Structure 1
Amino acid sequence: MNMQKQDAYIVAATRLPVGKRGGMYGRTRPDDLLAAALQAVLAQVPGLDAGRIGDVIAGCAMPEAEQGMNMARMGLLLAGLPQQVPGLTINRFCASGLQAVADAASRIRLGEADVMIAAGAESMSVMSQMMGNKISMNPAIFDREDHLGMAFGMGLTAEKVAQRWKVSREDQDAFALESHRRAVAAQQAGYFGQEITPFEIVVHEPGNVADGTPKITRRTAAQDEGPRADSSIEALARLRTVFAARGTVTAGNSSQMSDGAAAIVLMSERMIKELNVQPLARFAGYAVAGVPPEIMGIGPVEAIPRALQQAGIGQAQLDWIELNEAFAAQALAVIRELGLDPARVNPLGGAIALGHPLGATGAIRTATLTHGLRRTSGKYGMVTMCIGTGMGAAGVFEAL
């Protein structure tokens, strides 16, 4: 093992199609989704001895119930990885999947490992409510006035961002429609083909009463369930606000609650040469920053400049930006505050159309970015998102 500082490279990246909450994965366990993503990404590196994997780090925003019990370890065992491979589940809410990529890269960059897997998995179908199955936040967090924003639901923080950054309902609906338009166009053009691994959904139904034989149904999920070709500005305008009576945030201009998983294989340069593997991208930098909880959606504004500084590049050098669309209001506020080029932000649509399986999203969007940059011959790309309780994260990648 090389204990000198070194670069970390992405050599394989894949994701499963994203399903709507209660949709095609409504009866599929999240650890099964994770296991499938791990098997799929390892199949892309046929010469790799899985026993050499230093760790499997998986992000999950709500690690409880079916996605508790250290889902990373459960998932890798279900996937058939060697028992000597360890697993770690981490939680930075919506940035969990991206944090997994950054942590895996850090282990390689420090010389502690030569092969790592970063992943993310989340099933919002298994949750009884948005903040998990049992909400038990410490009441003392609200004793200070500057922490009161923690009491706001995510939708109310989006309303506050819309008010402060003057993002109109009309602008939010137009942004949402464009997200669907881009996502549908990308599906029709086959742009998600390289990044998506189809998943076979197996459902056990009650069987013959006489002999108890279960009925098993199988179908294959091959594309994301969320994009709507029939969305229109008129339909979006008719939706009622759901978080504030006189607000602007609706279900139509917010991210979809979703189920999904993704996995990324990272290697050191030494391992790449040993296996004669062609890297897809170099991990260039990562940063996290805190902001007031009541305007959590603006988090990327603080994180993006820090990540760019780490990577040693300027904002104008970014060819592709995956900005998670938690809400149209916050995405537009970030775009306007930093002067991001809208044409380079979410070229294939974002979470409003494609869905947001919380802790999996960062890994999912890393797969989208990695393959998208190579397809378009772009050089630098970024994955960034806001984070509940008031944070932002951003990771920079260089296509090779």
Structure 2
Amino acid sequence: MATVPRTRAAAKPRTVASRPRNEFGVWFVAGLRTPFAKAGGALARMDALDLSVPVMKAMLAKGGRPDLVNWGAVIPNLTVSNLAREAVVAAGGDATIPASSTIMACSTSMMGAFQAAGMLDDKGRSLALVGGAEAMSRIQIGLSQGLSDDLRKFMDARTGGQRWAAVTGTRLSDVRLFIPQIKNRATGKSMGEHTEDMARGWQISREEQDELALASHQKAAAGWQAGFFDDLVLRMDELGRDGIIRPDTSMAALGRLKPAFDRTSGAGTLTAGNSSPLTDGAAAMWVATDQGLKRLPADVPRARLVDYEVNAIDLFNEYLLMSPAYAIPRLLARNGLTYGDIALWELHEAFTAQVASHIKAIQDPEFLKTKAKVTAKLGKFPMERLNPHGGSIAIGHPFGATGARILSQAIKELWAMPKGAHAIVSICADGGQGTVTLLRRD
């Protein structure tokens, strides 16, 4: 089993695990999303609010007035505090709908779905609209805190002397811009650098990563060709379908790409081809009780929420994106299920090295026993059931939208299966966190 160098005393992973304990059923219902585009591409002129509005309009037209909205974006924008509320208003929704925003890195809109599930009570709340957006092309650049303070003093000044004092009091070291970066604040390392460590620790080869990436593109391309995405994706003037999928890529083409995060050691294995791209897009779904389902079209795919887990690990003593590998076996053991009992596995592909590491870990007896604290025999992971219509590597990964995207996709896939079939949907998130849910076709 892979090990992590200890930088401080080991701490037990902290977990918040919840089951829907309501007397009524809770359902996740497939929604709509924009096509996803690589940052700087077809959707580059739109910010998170611009991306959210057409999706929210289409969802409101299809499902009517929800009782609440939960929406989120990870990258902050100084002009929008509560994206959920702004999107409802801008979309022409009923101004009396309560709307709140959630942020949990890549798990943002899945966490929003869990939060909505806990708020439904059939006492005025039976249907929630959930989703999120990310505009990686429109990241707002800020000023250092010191320069911001001095500029505010200058703007508030009432005399020339006060203005002069504000200007002359500015330190040269404060005259700089703050550009948000995709790295963990506590460790100072990027997601890619952390995943390079994971790949080395779990001995995930470049070939294994590229094979998973190739499969993601091939499956996503086949899904579009077969019409699978037709009722999940809202066509836009700017883009009619996902713009990142490469149906013509190959192992040879992927193999020619240079390492993207470890460019100096000669041992780097993560590339632009086996890492999810910076992406623009928005996605939505519904969360409903049995009563709430009656307010939606009868033919919309839905799945019963059986159980879920929100998990956090000690990011200083474990690989940053390993949280789902702890949560998945616990969730299954708690429900008396094995890997083979799960008909559909939708694992978020932040990096294919992360996916491969999770799959290797959850089959490692030592990891299960000493880290996940699971003693149940869970069996062999069924690779043939993994991400049947592609994942984030090919489709794209707008942070705030990925949860609603992957859940809607999984729900539609599960809807085509026999009653009683189960699905696991998993997302890793920055900060050593993750969300996993167990769904059932009822």
- The normalised TM-score by structure 2 is 0.76
- Equivalent position of 1:341 in the other structure: 382
- Percent identity at matched positions? 32
Q: 2:303 aligns with which of 251, 270, 281?
A: 281
CA distance in 1, matches of 2:347, 2:209: 15
Q: Secondary structure at the match of 2:346?
A: strand
Q: 2:416 aligned with 1:375, yes or no? A: yes
Following superposition of structure 1 onto structure 2, how do residues 1-400 of structure 1 map, counting pairs within 5 Å? Answer: 5-45=23-63, 48=64, 50=65, 53-65=66-78, 68-108=80-120, 113-127=125-139, 133-134=179-180, 141=186, 150-201=187-238, 221-244=239-262, 245=264, 246=266, 247-273=268-294, 277=298, 280-293=302-315, 295-308=319-332, 313-339=337-363, 340-377=381-418, 379-400=421-442
Instruction: Specify which structure has the higher proportion of helix.
Output: 1
Tell me if the contact between 1:6 and 1:108 (Cα under 8 Å) persists in the aligned partners: no
Q: Secondary structure at the match of 1:119?
A: strand
- After TM superposition, give the deviation of residue 10 of structure 1 in Å: 3.1
Tell me if the contact between 2:276 and 2:392 (Cα under 8 Å) persists in the aligned partners: yes
- After TM superposition, give the deviation of residue 159 of structure 1 in Å: 0.6
- After TM superposition, give the deviation of residue 40 of structure 1 in Å: 1.6
CA distance in 2, matches of 1:120, 1:288: 18
Tell me if the contact between 2:30 and 2:409 (Cα under 8 Å) persists in the aligned partners: no
CA distance in 2, matches of 1:55, 1:283: 18
Tell me if the contact between 1:194 and 1:371 (Cα under 8 Å) persists in the aligned partners: no
Which AA in structure 1 matches 2:439? F
Given the superposition, is the C-alpha separation of residues 270 and 181 from structure 1 closer, same or farther in structure 2, using an over 3 Å criterion? closer
Tell me if the contact between 1:59 and 1:99 (Cα under 8 Å) persists in the aligned partners: no
153-162 vs 26-35, which moves further: 26-35
CA distance in 1, matches of 2:220, 2:36: 12
CA distance in 2, matches of 1:120, 1:64: 14
Which AA in structure 1 matches 2:200? Q
- After TM superposition, give the deviation of residue 292 of structure 1 in Å: 3.7
CA distance in 1, matches of 2:55, 2:137: 18
Given the superposition, is the C-alpha separation of residues 137 and 111 from structure 1 closer, same or farther in structure 2, using an over 3 Å criterion? farther
CA distance in 1, matches of 2:298, 2:336: 26
Which AA in structure 2 matches 1:84? T
Which AA in structure 2 matches 1:322? E
- After TM superposition, give the deviation of residue 382 of structure 1 in Å: 2.1
Q: Secondary structure at the match of 1:296?
A: coil
1:212-251 CA distance string (max 9 Å, x none): xxxxxxxxx2211111022121121111112112211111
CA distance in 1, matches of 2:182, 2:413: 40
Q: Secondary structure at the match of 1:361?
A: helix
- The normalised TM-score by structure 1 is 0.83
Given the superposition, is the C-alpha separation of residues 154 and 272 from structure 1 closer, same or farther in structure 2, using an over 3 Å criterion? closer
Tell me if the contact between 1:284 and 1:310 (Cα under 8 Å) persists in the aligned partners: no
Tell me if the contact between 1:8 and 1:109 (Cα under 8 Å) persists in the aligned partners: no
CA distance in 2, matches of 1:138, 1:20: 22
Given the superposition, is the C-alpha separation of residues 276 and 235 from structure 1 closer, same or farther in structure 2, using an over 3 Å criterion? closer
Given the superposition, is the C-alpha separation of residues 172 and 11 from structure 1 closer, same or farther in structure 2, using an over 3 Å criterion? closer
Which AA in structure 1 matches 2:313? V
- After TM superposition, give the deviation of residue 83 of structure 1 in Å: 0.7
CA distance in 2, matches of 1:311, 1:37: 35
CA distance in 2, matches of 1:136, 1:381: 30
Specify the structure having the higher radius of gyration (Cα). Answer: 2
CA distance in 2, matches of 1:119, 1:310: 28
CA distance in 1, matches of 2:216, 2:349: 9
Structure 1 unpaired stretches of 5+: 142-149, 202-220
Q: Secondary structure at the match of 2:320?
A: helix
CA distance in 2, matches of 1:5, 1:223: 40
Given the superposition, is the C-alpha separation of residues 34 and 310 from structure 1 closer, same or farther in structure 2, using an over 3 Å criterion? farther
Given the superposition, is the C-alpha separation of residues 343 and 136 from structure 1 closer, same or farther in structure 2, using an over 3 Å criterion? closer
Given the superposition, is the C-alpha separation of residues 196 and 138 from structure 1 closer, same or farther in structure 2, using an over 3 Å criterion? closer
1:233-287 CA distance string (max 9 Å, x none): 1121111112112211111110111011111122221343577856722122221
CA distance in 2, matches of 1:77, 1:190: 32
- After TM superposition, give the deviation of residue 311 of structure 1 in Å: 5.6
CA distance in 1, matches of 2:410, 2:357: 22
Which AA in structure 1 matches 2:75? M
70-79 vs 5-14, which moves further: 5-14
CA distance in 2, matches of 1:274, 1:85: 16
